[in-house]
Amino acid sequence: MKTKVGFIGLGNLGTPIAQNLIEAGYHLQVYNRTSSKLEALDQNSITRCSSPAESADGVAFIVTVLSDDKAVKEILTNENGILKTLPEGAVHISVSTILPETAKELDVLHRAAGSHYLTSPVFGRPEAAAAKKLWVCLSGPEEIKEAARPLLESISQGIIDFGEEAGAANVVKLTGNFMIQASMEMMAEAYTLAEKYQVDRTKVADFFGSTLFNSPIFKTYGKMIAEKDYSQVGFTAQLGYKDAKLVFSMSQQSQTPMPFISAIHNRLLSALAKGWNQRDWVEAISRGVTDDAGVE
């Protein structure tokens, strides 16, 4: 008989993760606010749930892939929240990008309820999730991490352990998102400078992306920025701004002045002010740079 796992959150990232869990042999008790999203899953491998509580009922693990701090908190504490039904000793695997402070609050709630909280945000776009190429950043109690390992291995290409502190993996995740955004701003400035000097920006991006900066981030985003190709909206400016705001909030909370996050924050804030909320975050940053430079 298949292991039952709760699952909440069928967004761009959640859906391929759920599919991989099913493929790995888990039976999912799925709840999603928009129930039509459940059609994307193999119906024989899921139980449709009408509330978070129903999804958490009787499982050893429940995975949530939600959009922000508020959504995760509510999924726990609402009237039909998962704390109502999650069995003692069960593990909540939280994949969302949230503040470390929020993770600590959730950890306390779980401890009080006799269940466990595992911080496991991931790096990777939806395509990477589909190909089981996510990177999982993990933090939480040792034995809980061990117990969750097989499940996490079935959705990722690697798991990196950042210790026992509830918020630690969130710190790494938000730090990484900052580095991705800073890379985008850096490339947008660099390639626009080259263009202004009549040097082919795609050639410059090619060169750096295959030599000194031959990493996934610089290859993927470098191409989009060099070609000013913003046709595919993988991640909206609005969500990008949300992350920049969280990083800025961490900078405030920890008293770490970060001039780069200040610049990125204002860049994305201006994108929202101009009504670009639903454009790709690459466009928000890259077009911000070219507009300021009077370049098409």
Judged by CB, which is closer to a copy of itself: 33, or 203?
203
Distance CA 107, CA 189 (A): 41
Question: Is 173 one of the annotated active-site residues of the chain?
Answer: yes
Residues 184-203 that bind a copy of itself (CB under 8 A): 185-187, 189-194, 196-200, 203
Q: What are phi and psi of 3, to 5 degrees?
A: -75, 130
The closest of 64, 47, 81 to 117, measured between CA atoms, is: 64
Of 37, 70, 104, 173, the active-site residue reads: 173
Report in angstroms how near the CB of residue 146 gets to a copy of itself at its nearest: 19
Task: Establish if 218 lies at the interface with a copy of itself (CB under 8 A).
Answer: yes
| Min separation Cβ 235 and a copy of itself, Å | 14
- Bridge partners of 46? 28
Q: Report how many residues bind a copy of itself under the rule CB under 8 A.
A: 75
Q: Strand ranges (DSSP E) for the chain?
A: 4-8, 27-31, 46-48, 61-64, 91-94, 116-119, 122-123, 134-138, 156-161
**Between 36 and 275, whose beta carbon lies closer to a copy of itself?**
275
User: Using the rule CB under 8 A, is 211 a contact of a copy of itself?
Assistant: yes
Interface with a copy of itself in residues 153-172 (CB under 8 A): 158, 160, 162-163, 165, 167-168, 171-172
We find the least distance from the C-beta atom of residue 157 to a copy of itself, in angstroms, to be 9
CB of 273 to a copy of itself, least distance (A): 4
Residue of 7, 123, 235, 281 that binds a copy of itself (CB under 8 A): 123
Work out the number of other CB atoms within 10 angstroms of the CB of residue 34. Answer: 8
Other beta carbons less than 10 A from residue 196's beta carbon: 13
Give whichever of 77 and 165 is closer to a copy of itself, judged by the CB atom.
165
Nearer to a copy of itself (CB atom), residue 233 or residue 293: 293
Residue 135 β-bridge partners: 123, 158
Give yes or no for residue 70 binding a copy of itself (CB under 8 A): no
**C-beta separation of 205 from 225 below 8 A:** yes
CA distance 205 to 218: 8
Closest approach of a copy of itself to the CB of residue 268, in Å? 9
Q: Is 182 in the site for a copy of itself (CB under 8 A)?
A: yes
Q: According to the binding rule CB under 8 A, does residue 143 interact with a copy of itself?
A: no
Burial class (CB in 10 A: 0-12, 13-18, 19+), 73: middle
DSSP 3-state of 156? strand
Question: Contact 177/247 with Cβ under 8 angstroms?
Answer: yes
Taking CB under 8 A as the rule, does residue 292 contact a copy of itself? yes
Q: Which residues are marked as active site?
A: 173
